[in-house]
Structure formats: C-alpha cells, structure tokens
Amino acid sequence: MADGDIRRGPGRLGVPSDASVILSDVPGSFTWKVLHERHPALIQKVRDATPYDPDRLRALDLLLGEITEGVIGPLRGATHDRDLWESWDRGHLGRRWDDAPFLWAESYFYRKLLAAVGYFDPGPWWGVDPFEPFKQAELFGGAVDDELRALDGFSALSPGEQAQALTLKALWGNRADLGFLISAGGSGLDVRVPGLVADDSALVWSMIDDLSAAGASPAGDGSPAGGGPAAGDGSPTGGASAAGGRSSAGGASPAGGRSSRVCLVADNAGNELLPDLVLIDHLLHARGVEEVVLHVKPSPYYVSDAMMADVVACLRRMSAAGGRAGEIGGRLREAMGSGRLLVRAHAFACAPLPYEEMPGDLREDFASASLTIMKGDLNYRRLVGDRYWPPTTPFAVATEYFPGPVAALRTLKSEVVVGLEAGTVTALEASGKPWRVSGTHGLIQARS
Ligand SMILES: O=P(O)(O)OC[C@H]1O[C@](O)(CO)[C@@H](O)[C@@H]1O
C-alpha cells in the first residue's frame, strides 16, 4: 500500500477528504513521542518491576532495538493468534513503525511486549501479566480507599445528583490510565477542567430512562423506574432484588425489538473500573436494566486496561471495603452468578483496528444492546476512527456505521475529537493549552 493510501485509510462514507489517518511520522509530535519516548520508558518499567530471566531480558532489549531503530517485525514462533494478526495486518509488517497508523503501531507494540515477556508461551512466564505490579499498587492505594468510602454518602444525593455523580466518576476515572501517567512523570496529571467539551449526559440518561420506563419499576411496584437524572428511585440501595429487576424489564422491547440490555466497553482497571462497576450496579439495581455486558480485554494491553482478573480483583476490593462499596460488590457478584452481568473478552478488543472493521459476532452483540457505552480514549479513537477529523464533525456522522445507540465517556488523551461546537473549538484553541492530549478535558457524547 502506498503512503497516501495509509493516510486515507479504507474508504468510508461521510468521512471528509481531509480526515486523514493519524500516523506517528513527525518527529517531536505527540504520536511520535508515544512511540519514541513512552514505549521505551515502559519497557524499562516492565524490566524493573518483575525479576525476568536472561531470555526475557534479551527479548525486551531486542524489542527496544526494533522500536527505536528497526522496522516492524513479525510475531515469532507458534502463537495462538498468528492468524488473527495476519488478518489484522494491513501491509505494515516490514515498514518503519512511524509509517504505520498510530493506532496500529501502538497496539502491535503491546502484542510484541507480551511476546517478549513470554506471556503466551508454555513455561514459567505463561500468563504473568507484566503490568500487574502497577495495577496492584493502584488498586491497593489510598486513593481507592477514599473513593470507596465516598460511596457511603451516595444515598444522601437526589436521584438526579446520583446520575450526574455516577457519570462523572466513570468519566474522570478514565484519567487513571497508567500508560498515560508514564508520560506525565512524577508531577502527575495537570488539574482537570470540570466543564466538559461536549456533554450529552442528558441524552444518555434519557435513553437509560426509556429502557427503565419500558419495564416496570426496579422495585417491582409498578412506578416508573427512571424519569431522567432527576426522577425515579435512583438509589443504588433502594431498589429491588436482582430477580425483581429482571422480571420487570424483561417483557418490554424499548428500542424496536431490543431487550433492556446495556454493553459497557471497559477501559482501565482499578480507579476507572471501580466507578464503572458502581454504574453497572446502578443500571441493574436501580434503573431496571435487565442485563449488562461488560467487555474487557482478553490479555494485558495499554498497561492498565481491564481484564477479567481485574474485574474479580475489583469485586474483592469492594467486598473487603465493607459499607456501601461492600453492598454493591455483593450485588454485582450475585448479578454475575445469575447471568445479569456478563463479562466478555473478545479478541477484537485488542485489535489494532477501528470498530468499523469489527467482526460479525461483536457487531451482533452491540446491535442487540439498547445502549453501548464506550469508555476511554482508545475506545473513542476506535469508535470514531483515529483520524484528523475536523472537530466539528457530528458525532453521529463519525459513528453512523455503529449498529446501535452508542455513548462515549472519555478524557481527551490523543489528537482525535469530533462533535464539538465551533465556539468551543475556538475557545480551546485560544487557551494555548494542549487540550486534546493532556487528559485535563472530558467529554460525554451520544447518539440514539
Ligand atoms: O486508557 P485510555 O483512555 O484508552 O488512553 C490510552 C491512550 O493513551 C495513549 O496511548 C496516548 O495518550 C493514547 O494513544 C491512548 O488512546
């Protein structure tokens, strides 16, 4: 494929001709720095965190050499996902890392890192998550204690305030991205800017209320369950049993034949996954949603991305915390046991491609949901396409291929953005700050 073709990417309806695919080929640019500074720093951190043997250390050295001076090499040896990666290659193997799409190059880097540490190889290092030490430190840190304790005061909030608080916790939890913190350095992230650059939260909650209203009250008393962020029961503890929610929501078909089912596509573990789980509990327990499907990664990815092991670790952490966190953790365990909370780890979750290229079974999963909530920056890039979109491109245009209603909760940590008002863009640009990539700004966008 010629360079010009890579920049244009596969043809796409509604994509402005100047929305070129983001590469990493401009020295000193944000994306170039991710490949040339963040990834080498991450290799060093991984080496330091785990006592690898000489073979693993050599493999990490080779990877460092490849990403800094070499071209993109193939996966070596017999590996379970060779066919998948062959099908995901778009002619980038053998090229310079900088010349592949940023999304592709970053994703493949994480796969090669797992190869270097022997994550998929039969032997002593099989299944040893190179990022586990960082995830553990975060999950058992004081910040999580504070967040879990704060749930105790939650029921004092009005239903509208609860909806708002849950959304914002899940949104800003996305700053807890350990890969991103590597670049931020010891001083941590800059202070967040509370006003969102786009805020469709009212649409999100009205879609959720529509689901609830289609069934009976989650309390099973016949009263409407939702009524917007400012109505309905809303209390995570004030609703009915799991069985009550299931029977009430199960009969109706709120969105043209769809059942009351929400997909939440998770991003980071720990400080982000915990508020996501609280939100899921709220949907199941207080909003009458029949079923939630939580999508996680099948293997370690982008440092802190959530896998099944992280879901289990979070539930244990909640139970151990007691109080309201413990109650929520207990309900979520029950929901998993009864099948109301399903966890999926689809291979495509670690694919180096936009969701537009998702396989049929995943498409069906999202198509059968009344709402899919995409968490985080990487999912956003994959949802709208990792391109230099004009920022005023409507979110609905960028996501029109998506098979059902979709919402995005994201802190901005990369260059892509759509769905902004022209005035917002002007004000952000005038600030002179790196608002697209600094993790200081957030957005909630949705289309029904
Ligand atoms: O955890 P998140 O929100 O997906 O963020 C990861 C993001 O960090 C980066 O690796 C660099 O900012 C992005 O490329 C990526 O989208």
Provide DSSP, 311-325. HHHHHHHHHHH-HHH
CB-based contact 167:409 (threshold 8 Å): yes
Distance 43 CA to ligand 1 centre (A): 17
Query: Rounded CA gap, 157 and 369, in Å?
Result: 29
Query: Where in the chain are the domains?
Result: 3-128, 134-447
Q: Which helix (H) or strand (E) holds 264?
A: strand 261-265
pLDDT at 123: 95
Q: What is the pLDDT of residue 178?
A: 78
pLDDT of residue 183: 65
The finding on whether 268 has its CB within 6 A of some atom of ligand 1 is yes
Any ligand 1 atom below 6 A from CB of 180: yes
Q: Tell me the C-alpha to C-alpha distance, in Å, between residue 434 and each of 162, 201, 281, 302, 428.
A: 31, 25, 35, 22, 9
371 lines ligand 1 (CB under 6 A): no
Ligand 1 close to Cβ of residue 378 (< 6 A) = yes
Give the angle 225-229-233 at the CA atoms, nearest 5°: 35
- In this structure, which amino acid lies at residue 79? T
CA angle 150, 152, 157 (to 5 degrees): 90
Q: How many CA atoms lie within 13 A of 340 on its CB side?
A: 25
Can you give the pTM of this predicted structure?
0.89
Closest of 353, 397, 359, 352 to residue 19, by C-alpha: 397
Residue 180 CA to ligand 1 center (angstroms) comes to 6
pLDDT at position 333 is: 98
DSSP summary character for residue 36: I
Residues pairing with 409 in the sheet: 375, 444
Q: Which CATH number fits domain 3-128: 1.10.150, 1.10.3470, 1.10.1740, 1.20.930?
A: 1.20.930
Q: Mean pLDDT for each consecutive 10-residue tract of the chain (448 residues)? A: 59 67 95 96 96 98 94 91 93 95 97 98 96 94 92 90 93 84 66 92 94 55 37 29 30 48 97 97 94 98 97 97 97 98 98 97 97 98 96 96 97 97 97 94 97
Q: How far is the CA of 106 from the centre of ligand 1 (A)?
A: 9
Distance CA 370, CA 367 (A): 8
For 134-447, CATH number out of 3.40.50.10880, 3.30.1600.10, 3.30.160.40, 3.20.20.450 equals 3.40.50.10880
List Cβ neighbours of 185 (8 Å cut-off, separation of 6 or more). Answer: none
Distance 174 CA to ligand 1 centre (A): 10
Q: Where do runs of H (alpha helix) occur along 271-398?
A: 273-285, 308-321, 323-338, 360-367, 376-384, 395-398
pLDDT given for residue 248 in this prediction? 31
Which ligand 1 atom sits nearest the alpha carbon of residue 103? 14
pLDDT of residue 186: 56
Fold match between 3-128 and 134-447?
no
Return the ligand 1 atom nearest residue 410 CA.
Answer: 3
CA distance 343 to 136: 21
